[in-house]
């Protein structure tokens, strides 16, 4: 197997992982000299995108307070997966270099969908019980990890509530989500999302599975055996929904 990775400032090869694997003790990469050319390449790529009427906003999918009811025709998204790549941790050094504070990154990380900790806000406990009923496999986990799954279910419930609220009558929604493996227990995230969608009046219209070929995964490369890396998610689930049509 030949694995090619571009050189960079990091001493690790899989820097987008939350726990990268170091492969060298020093680097001659000049960060400052390479930064401007990198920005220029991004600008050049953006210039190739056809012009369109686009509005980009910073927000939280669990609370879309600046979006009116029934004003969106379609939602296409992929929420962070429980126990998957920790994006904030994986990119924290670059973000701090660009001016973000460590305290702010910690705050964002602890409050994000898919965060690996017990709920810090009040969720509807009865609703979470309904979402997890005979679906997630979480009951086989120790309490700490069960609480992680409950928080994830609560977050997904809030995301689907807002999705249902902002979609126009007959609007479409597509979610891409992968299942998780926590301490050897398979967690059916897709089933949790599907149950939440139904609770909020979204009707499923299609479901498909997308394989994640081992050769296209991040380092370290998969190996034979029953290691956690070898057992990690091998597919993603694509779920399509439709909002209730308007009453005539």
pLDDT digits (tens, 9 = 90+) for 66-86: 999 999 999 999 988 776 667
43 shares its domain with 126: no
Please check whether residues 34 and 74 belong to one and the same domain.
no
Domain co-membership, 203 together with 130? yes
Residues 122 and 227 in one domain: yes
Query: Which tokens sit at 174?
Result: 């597509």
Task: Work out the average pLDDT over 215-224.
Answer: 54
Most confident segment among 34-38, 161-165, 208-212: 161-165
In a domain, 162, yes or no: yes
Cis peptide before 169 (omega within 30 of 0): no
User: What does the pLDDT read at residue 7?
Assistant: 57
Q: Is residue 61 part of a domain?
A: no
Residues 126 and 39 in one domain: no
Is 153 part of any domain?
Answer: yes
Measured CA to CA, the distance from residue 96 to residue 233 in angstroms comes to: 30
Other C-beta atoms closer than 10 Å to the C-beta of 213 total: 7
Residues 29 and 76 occupy one common structural domain:
no
Per the domain annotation, does 22 fall within a domain? Answer: yes
Torsion angle of the four alpha carbons 110, 16, 74, 247, in this order, in degrees rounded to the nearest 10 = -40
Q: Are residues 145 and 191 in the same domain?
A: yes
Q: Which two tokens stand for residue 230?
A: 């070898």
Check which CATH number belongs to the domain holding 216 and give it.
3.40.50.150
> Does pLDDT of 89 surpass 90?
no
> Is residue 95 included in any domain, yes or no?
no
User: How are the residues of the chain apportioned to helix, strand and coil, as percentages rounded to the nearest 5?
Assistant: 35, 20, 45
Range of the domain at 34: 7-56
Rounded to 5 degrees, what are φ and ψ at 62?
A: -85, -10
Phi-psi region of 115 (alpha: psi -120 to 50; beta: other; left: phi over 0): beta
Q: What is the mean pLDDT of residues 159-163?
A: 96
Residue 157 included in any domain: yes
Taking only the tens place, the pLDDT of each residue in 122-155 is 677 888 888 887 666 777 888 888 888 888 899 9
> What is the Cα–Cα distance from 1 to 58, expressed in whole angstroms?
41
Residue 77 in domain: yes
Q: Are residues 121 and 192 in the same domain?
A: yes
**23 in a domain, yes or no?**
yes
Coil, helix or strand at residue 74? strand
Question: Is 77 found in the same domain as 35?
Answer: no
Torsion of CA 72, 86, 81, 231, to 10 degrees: 150
Instruction: Indicate whether 52 and 74 sit together in one domain.
Output: no
Mention every residue, 6+ apart, whose C-beta is less than 8 A from residue 203. Answer: 241, 242, 243, 244
Q: Tell me, yes or no, whether 131 and 47 share the same domain.
A: no
pLDDT tens digits for range 172-189: 999 999 888 888 888 889
The angle at the Cα of 101, spanning 100 to 103, to the nearest 5 degrees, equals 140
Cβ–Cβ < 8 Å for 221, 14: no
Residues of the chain with pLDDT > 90: what percent? 33
Number of compact structural domains in the chain: 2
pTM of structure? 0.77
Does residue 176 sit in the same domain as residue 142? Answer: yes
Q: Cβ(173)–Cβ(148) under 8 Å?
A: no
């Amino acid at each position: 197997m030949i694995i090619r990775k571009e050189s960079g400032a990091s001493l690790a090869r899989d820097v987008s992982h939350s726990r990268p694997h170091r492969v060298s003790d020093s680097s001659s990469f000049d960060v400052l000299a390479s930064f401007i050319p990198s920005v220029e390449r991004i600008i050049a790529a953006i210039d190739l995108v056809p012009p369109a009427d686009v509005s980009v906003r910073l927000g939280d999918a669990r609370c879309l307070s600046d979006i009116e009811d029934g004003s969106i025709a379609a939602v296409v998204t992929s929420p962070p997966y429980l126990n998957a790549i920790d994006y904030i941790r994986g990119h924290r050094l670059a973000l701090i270099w660009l001016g973000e504070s460590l305290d702010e990154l910690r705050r964002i990380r602890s409050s994000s969908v898919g965060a690996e900790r017990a709920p810090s806000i009040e969720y509807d406990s009865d609703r979470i019980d309904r979402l997890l009923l005979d679906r997630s496999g979480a009951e086989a986990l120790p309490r700490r990890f069960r609480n992680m799954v409950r928080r994830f279910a609560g977050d997904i419930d809030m995301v689907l509530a807002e999705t249902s609220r902002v979609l126009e009558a007959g609007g479409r929604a597509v979610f891409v989500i992968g299942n998780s493996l926590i301490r050897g227990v398979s967690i059916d995230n897709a089933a949790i999302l599907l149950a939440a969608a139904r609770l909020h009046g979204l009707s499923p219209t299609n479901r498909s599975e997308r394989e994640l070929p081992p050769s296209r995964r991040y380092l370290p490369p998969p190996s034979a055996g029953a290691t956690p890396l070898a057992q990690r998610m091998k597919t993603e689930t694509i779920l399509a929904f439709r909002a209730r049509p308007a009453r005539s």
